[in-house]
Each structure stands twice: as C-alpha cells, then as structure tokens.
Structure 1
C-alpha cells in the first residue's frame, strides 16, 4: 500500500482506492486546465495572425510605405487597437451612429481618456476602395487647417479599416439648410461666414498645402459645424494629391450627382476648377435653401445649378432667395454672392475663378457688410444723440417759461 494512504479516523476500507480516485481527479483537472490554456494560446495566436492578415489586407504596408516616403511634413498617425475602438463605440452600437457616407459609417465614441471622437468604419474594402482609404489617411496627415477635420489615427487590424477623427458636435451643413428647425435659424451672416470658411479651407488645399489637394466631393453634407457653428471640411476618401507640374488628374468619375462638374463628368479630368463648380452649388444652396436636385413638380426633378443659371440670365436672382433670410440681408451682398456663384458654375472650367479669388471676393462682401452695419449703428447713435439734445432743449424752454 502506498505510503500516506490510510483511512481517516472512524472509517475503514481500502484507502488505496480513495487515493487513486483523488489522483485521477487531479490529473483530469490538470489536463483540462492545460487543454484550456493551450486552446487560449492557440486562439490568441490565431487572433494575432488574423490581425496581421487584416493589417496587410487593409493597406498597412502601403500606409507605412507612404508615410516613410514623406518629406517629414506628415504628422504621425496614431494606430489604435481594435479593442480600444470597440470599447469606445460600445461595440459599434447602432445608437452611436452619426451618419453614413460614401466610404462607410461614422460612429460617436469615447476613448479611455474621456475624449470624444468620431470613428469611421469603412465599407468592405476591395482593391479599388483600399487606395481611397489609404489616400484619406495620407492626405489628412499632411493637412493642418482649422477648417479641415483633424485625423487622430486609424486601426487596420479589423475586418474593415477604421479612421478616428476629432468629433465635430453640430452635424453637417445640409441639415441646417434643408431640414426645418424653428429653434435655430441659419442667418444670412452665418451663411456668409460658413461660405468664406469653406472657401478659405479649399484655397489652402489647392495652393497653400505642402502638396496641392483636390477634394473631389465638395457638398453640404461634407461640411461639419463645430460648437460655434464654424465650418469644417470632412470626408477626404475620394480626394487626390497631385504633383506640382500636373494640370489635371485623370481618374474614374467620382463625386455626388447635383454637385458634379459637368466638364469632369464628360472628360474624367479633375482639376481644381472641379472643386470650384461644386462649391458654386453649395453657394446656391446657401442662397436659396433648396436642395441640389429638387422637385419642380411631382413628376420632374431639376438641377439647382441649371435652375439658378436660368434665373440669373433672366435677372431674377431674388426669386430664388431663401425666404428665411430675405428680410435680414442686404441686396448688394445677395447680388455679389449670386454673381460669384454664377462664375463658379461656368460650364467652361477655365472661366471659373480660383478658390483664392473666391475667398477674396467673399472677404470683401463681408467687409462691406460690416461697414454698412457700422455706418447704420453710427447713424442710430447720432439720431439718438440729436433726440436727446432736442428733448433737452424742450426741457430748458419749458423751464424758462
């Protein structure tokens, strides 16, 4: 009988059998623990291998190559883990959805440090979409402008790639123009300010950035408003950076119907003037409050750009002016913005102004408006002073009597 195997006091029988049972139980237990540990280890290795596979498939190597070949002007992009972003978005809960775009769905998230972010989950990426995704990362890494959305980082180890942006709290411009809201009115002054902020950002992208960038999908849904209702350009998935000596970029037709440059649609040659045309449509949206494609009748849809040009040719600009701002704007400003929009929508791209010229015109319009308001306020102050002096004279006369 093995040493140590004895019955407890008050019991009798074969203690060897009891020891054997206990030994077998412990052996099975250790075997199960070992199997569980091995299973967990294998699962972890598979997960690591799968993440590496996703990283490679989602363009991780291409991104590393793009960033390493930059001239140092590219900001370092933070690489988030899938666990971080799953926790941040409550596992991409539908209640966290901020909106849907051409390249994916955007979720509101909160990182471990408490900061609020917008997480863009791309649609299933094929080889064609892969370049768009990496393109957006590289382009936004080069851009530093207060009116361009800031890219915080990305995650490539998931089934579909993820981009993490700063959170812009007040949604897109489209809803403020086209969705009725009695609690908030997008005033004429705000519309002018938004127009000049977007124009200034596009001017920067076209001519002041380290590498010229064409957005290629300018529209009111891609213009986000922050807590002070300042405009920020977003969604650079279809954007293109170009070499200095290039005059145009030939690619497959992209953009959004209603905003798309007719010249680009015909030739597939995208230039900075294609962004100008799209911006012209946004200007008309701000002027009119109408959608880029609107219903002229129950059976007919019409292009806002074409409708606007026809009205301008008939000298009927004020027929299209948004009724919500008619009583609160200066006619001279409306005419100036209308003429500018008409130039942007010229069918010949060469005859359109540059974004830098557009910015200059809008700055003059706003400056003139400020001077008019200042003169009006000074006149009111003068009239108030004269009224006070008049009342004082009347009072003195009454006292003398």
Structure 2
C-alpha cells in the first residue's frame, strides 16, 4: 500500500496485480491515526529498549554489590574466627594464670606454716633458757673444744707424710689438666689426685708472686714446720709435702667449695648455711688466736666462698692457709709493690677491706671484712653485690625477704635479719665498727653459734 502525495488516491498492491483506490476523508484520518499510533509504538519500543539497558545496568550493579556483600561476609567470618580464637587463648591464659596464682598461694601457705612451726619451736626453746637441754651442753662443749685448748688438740694428729715427685705424678697422671681444680683465686695450681692406696687427695703447687717454685728450706720452715701446729676441725688438713715438686697434699673435699655448694640449690638449705658459717667463724677464731705461739695471729687475707671447702659430711674447712703462712712476713720496697700488684689478680677486690689499698697490710680486721662479705653472699646467693643488696633492704620486711636466696627454702626472717646485720657490721668501711670475733654475746662467733644452735635444736625437737 502506498498513498499518492498529490491526491487522495491510494495504491494497493497484491500478487500479480494492484488497484488504485480513492480514499475519502474519514479513511485518510484513520490512516493518519494509524501512522501516529505506529510512531508512538515505535517511540514506546525505543523507550522499552532503553529501559532494558537501564535494567541490565542495574542488574550488573546488583551483581557487583552482591559480590561485594559476599566478600564483606567472608571478611566478617574471618574476623569472627580470629575473635573466637583470641577468646579461647585468653581463656586458656586466664586458666594458666589462675593455676600459677593458686600454686603460689599454696607455696606461700606452706612456707608460712614452716616458718610458723619453726618460730614456735624457737619460742619454746627461748622459754626454757633456765633449763637448757642436753643438746645445748653438747654444743657448748664442742665450741670449747674448737676454740679453747688448742695445744691439747695438736698432739692428736699424725705427722705429715713426705711424698716423692713420682708418687704425685702418678696420683695426678703427671699433673694432667683434666684433674686441675677450678681456675681463679688461689686454686690456679690445685689438682685432684689419687694415691696408690686409693686415698683421694688435693695436690697444690706452691708458687711465689713471680710464679716460681718455693725453695725447699723456705717451704719447710715457713709452711710445713708451722703447719704441724695448725690442726683444727675447721681448717683444711695438710696430709703431706713434696719438696721436689714444691707441692702440698691436702685431704680431699668431696663437696667442693661453699660457692659450689650454694650453686647446688637442693643441698644448701638456709639453716645449713648458718651452721657452715658458724664453723668458718670457729676456724677463723683459731687462726687469729696465736696458734703458733709467736705472739701474733695468722691473718688469712683471702676469706671468700671459693676458699672455704666442705667435706663429705658438709663440714666447713678453711683452705689456702699456706699463702697466709708464706705472706706472714711483709715484703719491702719493689718486692712489696710486686706482691700488691699480684694481689689485684689473686684477690677479688670486693673482698678486700678499703684500708688495705692505703696501708697494704692485712690484719684481723681485714679478715673480718672479707668474712662479712662472704656471709652476705651466703644469705643472698649473689657473689657480686651482696653488700649493696642487703644494705638497701635490711629495714624493709618485704624487700629483705625478697633478697634472700629463694633456693635455700623458707628462711626464718628474724634469724636471717640478725645474721645479715652482723654481715653488714663485719663489712663496714669503718674498721672500728667491725665486731670482734670472740666477744661474749655480741661477737661474731657468739651470734652465729646462737643462730645455728637455735635452728639445730628446733630441728632436733621436731624429730624427737
């Protein structure tokens, strides 16, 4: 169908023919309306297409949003899992902390009961001062034997044995380094050994400040002959001498030094430490008591945890007395300066009393200073700054309890403070304030013997 542009004719075409029809006005109007409707439909179709595009765009955006939402959900799930793990970890940590707190409370309760039990025993002993038990009398008798009639004790020991060079070489496997004792201090020339009869011994090469062997006559006159008079239960026992090697042979000390003992926490209980230091005080009193009958004391000059030995029964014995005997006659001039220089290497300076560095003289008061430092180290288990630690804490109950060596068990704080105060007095920088070794009641030996006997008696009552 095709309308004529200049007339109202309409050409209708079909298969093999066509017709021309004259269109009247109503038909023309209808045609126009149809065309208008077709135009509107076409426009509407175009709008539908545009809407479809917009819908596709929105759907795409929805898909993107959906993916983003899924990613956010995954992240939230991960965060949730992490949070749950943290909650579980926190719960486990809280349980562990609770267990530790409970364990600490149980241990504190146990220590408190032990201290209370010991204090109760001590209180009972103090209430019976007028009627001292047999144990007190035994201890007093032992003390009198230790520091009393020393001349009677000397004659009960056998003579020193003289060893050949060959015997000591066999005993120490030709002074093999594997038998050498702890390095440092005055043990640099000490060896463990075993004699032909199976006796264990400690062999020590005696050397002067220049590291030379001591001549036969000097070793005999200054050390060996004098040592025959120095037999005491708390001084290391000399068994013999070898002049060829310039060596001294001592009894074997199965438990090593006090420093070794304190390092082994299971063996060095606090009450045993009191007893050991009381025994050291007895030995030092003996050395200071003119045991050679020359009118003067033997000044040790090197008291410290590494020069105090323990035998198989944990009995304390002072070692390195040979150096005290060799140094008993002060050197002069250049020789004295060389000896002082050697002392800087041979002695750890914090054991040496401050006045020594001016006078270059060791005496009983310098021994008391070294003993005080050693006593404080035995209390704290620290071998570097025990004086400062105790001095800062002595007036504060909690601080003082915290500085005591925990490895020694539950200390009796009252007795420990009494011993600590004694250690501070002994190591006072003012030599005039240092206590006397043997003064009644206030002397070093009296205080330590009192502390040790209280503990020992309390233990014996507990075992009765």
Give the structure-2-normalised TM-score: 0.55
CA distance in 2, matches of 1:114, 1:85: 13
The match for 1:269 is: 361
- Kindly indicate whether residue 279 of structure 2 is the aligned counterpart of residue 156 of structure 1: no
Would the alpha carbon gap of residues 261 and 128 (structure 1) be closer, same or farther in structure 2, given more than 3 Å must change? farther
Cα deviation for residue 196 of structure 1 reads: 0.4
Question: What runs of 5+ residues in structure 2 fail to find an aligned partner?
Answer: 1-153
The match for 1:113 is: 197
Check the 8 A contact 1:136/1:236 in 2, yes or no: no
CA distance in 2, matches of 1:151, 1:366: 28
Q: 1:218 aligns with which of 303, 312, 319?
A: 303
Check the 8 A contact 2:300/2:367 in 1, yes or no: yes
Cα deviation for residue 324 of structure 1 reads: 1.9
The match for 2:164 is: 81
CA distance in 2, matches of 1:139, 1:258: 30
Map Cα deviations across residues 212-268 of structure 1 (whole Å, 9 max, x no partner): 21110001011111111111111124315899xx9x999654433221111222321
Q: 2:175 aligns with which of 89, 92, 98?
A: 92
Residue 215 of structure 1 aligns to a residue in which SS?
coil
Residue 239 of structure 1 aligns to a residue in which SS?
helix
* CA RMSD, 1 decimal: 3.4
The match for 1:9 is: none
Residue 193 of structure 2 aligns to a residue in which SS?
strand
Q: 1:363 aligns with which of 449, 454, 458?
A: 449
Check the 8 A contact 2:223/2:326 in 1, yes or no: no
Give the structure-1-normalised TM-score: 0.63
The match for 2:37 is: none
Higher strand residue share: 1
The match for 2:318 is: 233
Q: 1:322 aligns with which of 393, 405, 409?
A: 405
Check the 8 A contact 1:75/1:141 in 2, yes or no: no
- Kindly indicate whether residue 362 of structure 2 is the aligned counterpart of residue 278 of structure 1: no
Report how many residues are paired: 288
- Structure with larger Rg: 2
The match for 1:41 is: none
Would the alpha carbon gap of residues 83 and 103 (structure 1) be closer, same or farther in structure 2, given more than 3 Å must change? same
CA distance in 1, matches of 2:348, 2:224: 21
Q: How does 1:1-400 map to 2 (within 5 A)?
A: 76-100=159-183, 101-102=185-186, 104-122=188-206, 126=210, 130=214, 135-158=222-245, 161-177=246-262, 179=263, 181=264, 184-207=266-289, 209-211=291-293, 212-240=297-325, 252-253=339-340, 254=343, 255-291=347-383, 293=384, 303-312=385-394, 316-327=399-410, 329-356=411-438, 357-370=443-456, 372-373=458-459, 377=462
CA distance in 1, matches of 2:457, 2:186: 42
Question: What runs of 5+ residues in structure 1 fail to find an aligned partner?
Answer: 1-71, 294-302, 382-401
Residue 306 of structure 2 aligns to a residue in which SS?
helix
Check the 8 A contact 1:214/1:239 in 2, yes or no: yes
Would the alpha carbon gap of residues 113 and 370 (structure 1) be closer, same or farther in structure 2, given more than 3 Å must change? closer
Map Cα deviations across residues 107-158 of structure 1 (whole Å, 9 max, x no partner): 2222223322111124587488748966444543320101111112222223
Cα deviation for residue 373 of structure 1 reads: 5.0
Would the alpha carbon gap of residues 128 and 90 (structure 1) be closer, same or farther in structure 2, given more than 3 Å must change? closer
Residue 262 of structure 1 aligns to a residue in which SS?
coil
